Structure 1
Amino acid sequence: MNLSGLKKVSNTLVSIQRFIGVLLALTVPLLIVYQVILRYVFKAPLMGIEELLIFPTIWLYMIGGANASQQRNHIECGILTLYIKREETLKLFNIFKSLFSMVVALWLTYWAYWFFNYSFTKWKLSDILYIPMFFGESALFIGLVLMSIYAIIDFFTDTRALVIYIKSKVKGGND
């Protein structure tokens, strides 16, 4: 698959992520407001809302991490980029940075897959509402798969940027 194919997949995933993220971002406060109204207005608290909130919260967290990964807004220490003056060196540094992110994301995805399998096999239930914990725990695997996809795209994008830069330098001469 070429870079444009990866970008197309990425754009589709981003659209789905944003829709799910907005839906979850609305669900969490609505559940909290519902519980507050029941508890303080009608004096009839509903057992299990706190437990139910765990599921959209986990999904929101992992979808948010995937969005940050896609937008390249994840936390990083950019102090080295202040000292790198040559554009070629900076592009090479970006390749190593995205390679490291890709390796870590793939490694974590491997372990999340193991947990995903374990969760599916055991089919644990939540304490009060008896909701299968798999529905919350699977967010770790899916979120890390998305982060891995974006890390792979970043690696190829950074590598391509260096190749294009080197080709332009060779064609245009060493200015």
Structure 2
Amino acid sequence: MKALVDLFASIDNMIALFMKIIVTVMGVFVSFAIVTGIVSRSLLGMPIFGLEELVLMAAMWLYMLGAALASRERSHLSADFIQAFCKNETIKTVSSFTATTLSLLLAVLFVVWSYSLFSWGIERGQRTPVFGLPQYISQASLFVASILLLIYALRDFANDAAHLFIKK
């Protein structure tokens, strides 16, 4: 069992490293592309056509993989009033389990919705106006992120269920 857990942890670490690299590259690209677009338009008087298409696609991947990384590290925004103000550990554990259960259900819906959007994008064959890039490239970011969010929600659900139902 420990070998399997170690294997999953190793795979998770490799995926996280890959996501961090992509997020960094996309973040740098979006930053420089926006600055380049502003400079070319305002100082040189020459807009760079199609730059917005590339920024949009990169930003979609940046935001979606960033959300997956936040979910992996459990550092996403949350309003844990009960966790902050309640001193009863049982109530805190039940609250955390309830929130994780809701997150898991929403993650399942997000996978279904994003798959539907992604497959619709492939069927429709829509392309960007300037470069003719398939729209499903940016739509795929939603689907990939939703799968990752579901995986991390399942992990958190299992951990919270273990804390709630397995007394040590």
TM over 0.5: yes
Q: How does 1:96-175 map to 2 (within 5 A)?
A: 96-164=98-166, 166-167=167-168
Report the alpha carbon displacement of residue 115 of structure 1 after superposing the two structures with TM.
1.0
Secondary structure at 2:12's aligned position in 1?
helix
Distance 1:86 1:41, change over 3 A: closer
TM-score for the superposition, normalised by structure 1: 0.83
Percent pairwise identity: 25
Kindly provide the amino acid, as one letter, of the partner of residue 99 in structure 2.
Answer: K
Partner of 1:170: none
Greater Rg over alpha carbons, structure = 1
Q: How does 1:18-167 map to 2 (within 5 A)?
A: 18-164=20-166, 166-167=167-168
Q: Contact 1:39 / 1:45 at 8 angstroms: preserved in 2?
A: yes
Larger deviation, residues 64-73 vs 140-149: 64-73
Larger deviation, residues 152-161 vs 142-151: 152-161
Kindly provide the amino acid, as one letter, of the partner of residue 51 in structure 2.
Answer: I
Q: Contact 1:3 / 1:157 at 8 angstroms: preserved in 2?
A: no
Aligned residues between the structures: 166
* CA distance in structure 1 between the partners assigned to 2:44 and 2:87 by the alignment: 65
Q: Contact 1:39 / 1:46 at 8 angstroms: preserved in 2?
A: yes
The CA RMSD measured in Å over matched residues stands at: 2.1
Gap regions ≥5 residues in structure 1: 168-175
* CA distance in structure 2 between the partners assigned to 1:16 and 1:81 by the alignment: 32
Report the alpha carbon displacement of residue 137 of structure 1 after superposing the two structures with TM.
1.1
Q: Contact 2:114 / 2:143 at 8 angstroms: preserved in 1?
A: yes
Distance 1:80 1:96, change over 3 A: same
Higher RCO (C-alpha 8 Å, min separation 6): 1
Q: Contact 2:114 / 2:139 at 8 angstroms: preserved in 1?
A: no
Kindly provide the amino acid, as one letter, of the partner of residue 75 in structure 1.
Answer: L
Distance 1:146 1:93, change over 3 A: same
Alpha-carbon displacement from aligned partner over 1:26-75 (angstroms, at most 9, x marks no partner): 11112123334433454433211122211001111111111121121222
